Amino acid sequence: MAILNVENVSKSFGGIQALDDCTFTVRADEVTCVVGPNGAGKTSVFNVITGFIKPDNGTIKFDGQIIDGLSRQSRVHLGIARTFQNLRLFEEMSVLDNVLVCLKGREATNPATAIFRPFYTSAVMKDKRERAMALLEEVGIAHKANDEASMMSYGQKKLLSIARILATDARLLLLDEPTSGLSASALDNMVALIHRLRDLGKTLLVVEHNTRIVQRIADEVLFLHRGTVLAQGRPDEIINNKELGRIYFGEVH
């Protein structure tokens, strides 16, 4: 069952065609990896799905519903959440508060409630703390809950960025290069987390450069090149395709 349909989406920035008649589907409950050389348009795909850029043409459907006119916030509430390639953590806040801010639910996020309903606000805060803590445990950084986010290692920051989008309770998670720059052990951690999220019933769209990792996590692979999906298929079909390999490595190196 397709949960996401991207149909004929194009986007140009001045002279640069970031997305060019891009079409693909993402099946529910699977991990779909997006591969392609630098500048292929991988992050741009995430930006059009989440509403951070408006496409020039084309349509995007989530769960059968056209979402083109929806705000970025509405898309999160519908169940689409993303990480950023540069993480965008709230560096001066505690690890716990980073997650707490992103939790689903608008309770006590206005001044009137905070000031005039102090006991209700305390109860909300307690509940949110517990939910945030559970998510930190899920990704394995609960022991860092009270540290400032800026104090964490790069690998832990990446785990935190994932805890934050889990907080939105979204069904479709878009991870932009979750494994890049990780040490070998942090990398195994991340792969295990992606497997767990899949088992929890999340659908994942993951930008991933390393073909060995693609083979470990992907059910499906999209090959993106100059803003177009050149191929979509099972991991070994795509990875063993000599023509795609030539494009990929030809442009990377």
Partner 1 sequence: MNFFFSFLVLAEIFAVLALSTNLLLGVVGIFSVAQAAIMGIGAYTFAGLAIAGIPMPIALIAAIVLCGIINVIASLPSLRLAGDYFIITSFGIQLVATAVFINWSDVTGGATGLSGIPIVEIFGQKFVRAGPFLILSSIALGVVSLSFWLLMRAPYGRLLHAIRQDEIAVVAAGHRVLLAKVGVSAVSGMYAGVAGALYAAYIAFIDPASFDIHVSILAVTMVVVGGARTLAGSILGPLLLLAIPQLLALIDIPSTVVGPVRQLTYGALLIAFMLWRPQGIAGKSL
Ligand X SMILES: Nc1ncnc2c1ncn2[C@@H]1O[C@H](COP(=O)(O)OP(=O)(O)OP(=O)(O)O)[C@@H](O)[C@H]1O
Q: Would you mind telling me the total number of residues written for the chain in this entry?
A: 253
Q: Which of 24, 33, 42, 203 binds ligand X (CB under 6 A)?
A: 42
Residue 77 binds what, of ligand X, Mg ion, partner 1, none (CB under 5 to 8 Å, by partner type)? partner 1
- Whether residue 181 contacts residue 173, with contact meaning beta carbons closer than 8 Å, is answered with no
Nearest approach in angstroms of CB 174 to partner 1 is: 10
Q: How many CB atoms lie within 10 A of CB 234?
A: 11
Q: Which is nearer to partner 1, 170 or 218 (CB)?
A: 170
Q: Based on the shown chain and the rule CB under 6 A, indicate whether residue 1 belongs to the binding site for ligand X.
A: no
With b meaning 16 or more CB within 10 Å and e meaning fewer, what string describes 190-210? bbebbeebbeeebbbbbbbbe
Question: Measuring CA to CA, which residue among 39, 11, 45 is closest to residue 26?
Answer: 45
From ligand X, Mg ion, partner 1, none, interface partner of 18 (C-beta below 5 to 8 A by class): ligand X
Q: Tell me if 43 contacts ligand X by CB under 6 A.
A: yes
Where do contacts with partner 1 occur on this chain (CB under 8 A)?
A: 50, 52, 72-73, 76-77, 81-82, 84, 88-93, 97, 100-102, 104, 107-115, 118, 121, 124-125, 128, 164-165, 167-168
Neighbours of 247 (CB within 10 A): 19
Minimum distance from residue 175 beta carbon to Mg ion (Å): 11
50: left (phi over 0), alpha (psi -120 to 50) or beta: alpha
- Closest to Mg ion by CB, 42 vs 225, is 42
- Please identify which residue in the block is written with the tokens 């099946």: 27
Residue with smaller CB distance to ligand X, 18 or 239:
18
- Which CB, 89 or 217, lies closer to partner 1? 89
Q: For partner 1, which is the closer residue by CB, 118 or 195? A: 118
* Neighbouring residues of 51: CB distance < 8 A, sequence distance ≥ 6: 67, 70, 71, 72, 75
